[in-house]
Amino acid sequence: MKIKNMEILVQLEIFNSGSHFSEEKFNLAILYTVLLVVYISLAVVNFKKYKEDQQKFEEEDSPLFFTFGSLNMVVTHCILKCIHNFFYSNDGVGSMMCEMFSHIMLVFSRITMITILIAFGFGWQIIYENTQEVKKKI
């Protein structure tokens, strides 16, 4: 009696309450959704403050402009992570393109914030000088 070698292919899909998320991935997905709302609200507040300062002082190089840019990159990071998590919950793989671009946006945001801190360290002033010209603008 001879037994032939047979190839058997087994594919398992393990679900956790109907989703591909593990418990920690599920909690991270909730965290990214909450962070998205928080960062969007911070970006809106920062943009209003930037526009207010721009009307008062008529200067384009406010630190709020760079902070707003950094916040926009963090918001983009959170949006892309939420998209990735949505696809991950459906197919267990997610969108690697969204994952990759979200990390790139987070790195650029950190570079922007570090640049602002370095500029402050070299004497970039965020306090406006009390001169006659500024008083006229106010």
87-123 confidence digits (pLDDT tens): 887 777 888 999 999 999 999 999 999 988 888 777 7
- Residue 127's pLDDT is 56
| pLDDT for 60 beyond 70 | no
User: Residue 74's pLDDT band (boundaries 50, 70, 90)?
Assistant: very high
Q: How many residues does the chain have?
A: 138
Is 123 or 34 the better-scoring residue by pLDDT?
34
Report whether 26 contacts 19 (CB < 8 A): yes
User: Residue 59's pLDDT band (boundaries 50, 70, 90)?
Assistant: low
Is 73 or 67 the better-scoring residue by pLDDT?
73
Question: Exposure pattern of 92-103 as b/e (b: 16+ CB <10 Å)?
Answer: eebbeebbebbe
Q: How many angstroms from the chain centroid is the CA of residue 73?
A: 5
| pLDDT for 18 beyond 70 | no
Domain boundaries, the chain: 24-122
Look at the pTM and tell me if it is higher than 0.85: no
- Lowest average pLDDT, out of 48-52, 72-76, 83-87, 118-122, goes to 118-122
Indicate the average pLDDT of the chain: 79
